[in-house]
């Protein structure tokens, strides 16, 4: 039996509600498969923990997590705790310390999912976004000078190392190579005259190692427009931390909304645990009402199966998500239904049985 140790950080707001459903699906799929099993350890970290203890996670939190095979995260953030604290002191620490330099976000319009553009279809909206996840514009480097004075100046430094840039671009090419797809790089070299000129150069260099792969390179502003007007242009996409953050929300809107957007933070070498999470936040406006859509959290479970080498199982979970939407009977209010979070999870489990 392949036993995987999973650290569960359910977090705040709707985090625990959607994670519960994801775990139902993990256990069901493990039972159906018969060769894999999950052992869960729950960590109470997040904003509630911060309000009690003055910190988002234990001081030795990273050491505690290091021996796990994966981290399954709900969402963090809650009114009363600044977002800069909740994000930086938990999520970003984990992503950085565990060198989860690939943020893999599928943007795939499943049958039955709502799409805001009339020309959107499951054929033309099918992208794999690879967002650089360890440095770039979110490196946290910078300065705040002369605070509160008239000459106040802030510097927010983008950090693009050769190692960091090359490895994430190479990862995109490796995926495209396996899946016989094109690779698109998104940057902004006309305005960011160091970082993005460098990014484009590294993209060109790495592309030489993959002569059979067709490549495209777009400026981020043009890419935002093309994603809406002509999404079929994009297959495997690689971009920086900030641009990826923004464009994957555009992608989430194209593919059915935040309730369907999943993301994996990967350390591809498996030296450290990778982290799987829905893209959405803690949604304080609907927390505690039992109406959060768990499908994004369940989609990230599908990504976890892929990562553990059970791609067929991951695919079956995705098919169940598609089926529930095609049926249209057991859906949460954000998708036009009136089902509760746990009813959606239960229906997915039933569909896996069929």
Ligand X SMILES: NC(=O)c1ccc[n+]([C@@H]2O[C@H](COP(=O)([O-])OP(=O)(O)OC[C@H]3O[C@@H](n4cnc5c(N)ncnc54)[C@H](O)[C@@H]3O)[C@@H](O)[C@H]2O)c1
The two tokens of residue 336 are 């036009």
Question: Is the Cβ–Cβ distance between 114 and 254 less than 8 Å?
Answer: no
**Interacting residues of 6 by C-beta distance below 8 A, sequence separation 6+:** 26, 38, 39, 40, 41, 68, 69, 70, 71, 72
Per-residue contact track with ligand X, 84 to 123, x per CB under 6 A?
--xx---x--------------------------------
**Interacting residue with ligand X among 282, 300, 302, 303 (CB under 6 A):** 282
CB of 336 to ligand X, least distance (A): 12
Residue 78 or 129: the one with the smaller Cβ distance to ligand X is: 78
Contact of 163 with 194, CB cutoff 8 Å: no
Out of 296, 324, 339, 344, name the contact with ligand X by CB under 6 A: 296
46 binds ligand X (CB under 6 A): no
Q: How far is the CB of 51 from ligand X (least distance, A)?
A: 13
Structure tokens at 50: 């911060």
Interface region with ligand X, contact rule CB under 6 A, candidates 128-136, 247-255, 268-276, 279-287: 279-287
Our CB check for ligand X shows the closer of 87 and 192 to be: 87
Closest CA to 302 of 99, 78, 70: 70
Residues 265, 277 contacting (CB under 8 angstroms): yes
E strand or H helix that includes residue 220? helix 220-229
Q: Which one of 283, 321, 324, 348 is in contact with ligand X (CB under 6 A)?
A: 283
Q: What's the rounded Cα separation, in Å, for the pair 94 and 229?
A: 36
Q: Which residues contact 325 (CB under 8 A, 6 or more apart)?
A: 110, 111, 112, 113, 256, 331, 335
Nearest distance in Å: CB 17, ligand X: 8
Please list, in sequence order, all residues whose beta carbon lies within 8 angstroms of the beta carbon of residue 207, skipping any fewer than 6 positions away.
173, 183, 213, 215
**Are 292 and 266 spatial neighbours (Cβ–Cβ below 8 Å)?**
no
Spatial separation of the C-alpha atoms in residues 274 and 43, rounded to whole Å? 16
Question: Stretches 132-140, 205-213, 245-253, 276-284: which one binds ligand X (CB under 6 A)?
Answer: 276-284
- Nearest one of 157, 271, 267, 136 to 202, comparing CA atoms: 136
Residue number, 30 or 75, with CB nearest to ligand X:
75
- Rounded Cα distance, 279 and 184, in Å: 22
Pattern 50-89, ligand X, x by CB under 6 A: -------------------------xxxx----x--xx--
Site string for ligand X, 16-45 (x = CB under 6 A): --x---------------------------
Residues between 170 and 209 with contacts to ligand X, criterion CB under 6 A? none
Stretch that binds ligand X, among 143-151, 168-176, 229-237, 292-300 (CB under 6 A): 292-300
Find the shortest distance in angstroms from Cβ 245 to ligand X. 10
Tell me phi and psi for residue 136, to 5 degrees: 65, -140
Judged by CB under 6 A, the residue of 147, 285, 336, 353 near ligand X is: 285
* Cα gap 286→291, rounded to integer Å: 7
Residues in binding contact with ligand X, number by CB under 6 A: 25
Per-residue binding letters, 245-264, with ligand X (x by CB under 6 A): -------------xx-----
Q: Among 281, 314, 337, 345, which residue sits at the site for ligand X (rule: CB under 6 A)?
A: 281
Where does this chain bind ligand X (CB under 6 A)?
A: 14, 18, 75-78, 83, 86-87, 91, 258-259, 277, 280-286, 292-293, 296, 332, 334
């Amino acid at each position: 039996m392949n036993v995987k140790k999973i650290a569960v950080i359910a977090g705040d707001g709707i985090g625990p509600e959607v994670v519960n459903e994801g775990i139902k699906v993990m256990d069901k799929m493990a039972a159906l498969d018969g060769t894999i099993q999950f052992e869960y350890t729950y960590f109470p970290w997040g904003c509630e923990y911060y309000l009690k203890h003055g910190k988002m996670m234990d001081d030795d939190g990273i050491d505690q997590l290091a021996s796990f095979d994966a981290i399954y995260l709900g969402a963090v953030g809650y009114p009363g705790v600044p977002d800069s604290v909740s994000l930086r002191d938990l999520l970003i620490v984990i992503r950085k310390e565990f060198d989860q330099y690939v943020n893999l976000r599928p943007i795939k319009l499943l049958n039955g999912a709502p799409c805001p553009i009339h020309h959107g279809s499951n054929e033309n909206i099918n992208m794999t976004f690879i967002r650089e996840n360890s440095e770039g514009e979110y490196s946290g480097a910078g300065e705040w000078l002369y605070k509160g004075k008239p000459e106040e100046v802030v510097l927010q430094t983008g950090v693009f190392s050769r190692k960091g840039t090359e490895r994430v671009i190479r990862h995109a090419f490796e995926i495209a190579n396996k899946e016989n797809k094109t690779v698109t790089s998104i940057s902004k070299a006309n305005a960011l005259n160091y970082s993005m000129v460098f990014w484009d150069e590294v993209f060109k260099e790495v592309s030489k190692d993959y002569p059979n792969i067709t490549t495209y390179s777009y400026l981020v502003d043009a890419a935002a427009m093309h994603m809406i007007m002509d999404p079929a242009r994009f297959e495997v996409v690689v971009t920086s931390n900030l641009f990826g953050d923004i464009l994957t929300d555009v992608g989430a809107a194209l593919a059915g909304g935040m309730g369907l957007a999943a993301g994996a933070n990967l350390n591809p070498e498996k030296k450290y645990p990778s982290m799987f999470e829905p893209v959405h936040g803690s949604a304080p406006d609907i927390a505690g009402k039992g109406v959060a859509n768990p499908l994004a959290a369940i989609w990230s479970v599908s990504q976890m199966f892929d990562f553990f080498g059970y791609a067929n199982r991951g695919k079956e979970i995705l098919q169940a998500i598609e089926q529930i939407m095609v049926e249209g009977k057991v859906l949460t209010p954000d998708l036009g239904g009136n089902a509760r979070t746990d009813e959606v999870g239960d229906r997915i489990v039933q569909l896996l049985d069929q």
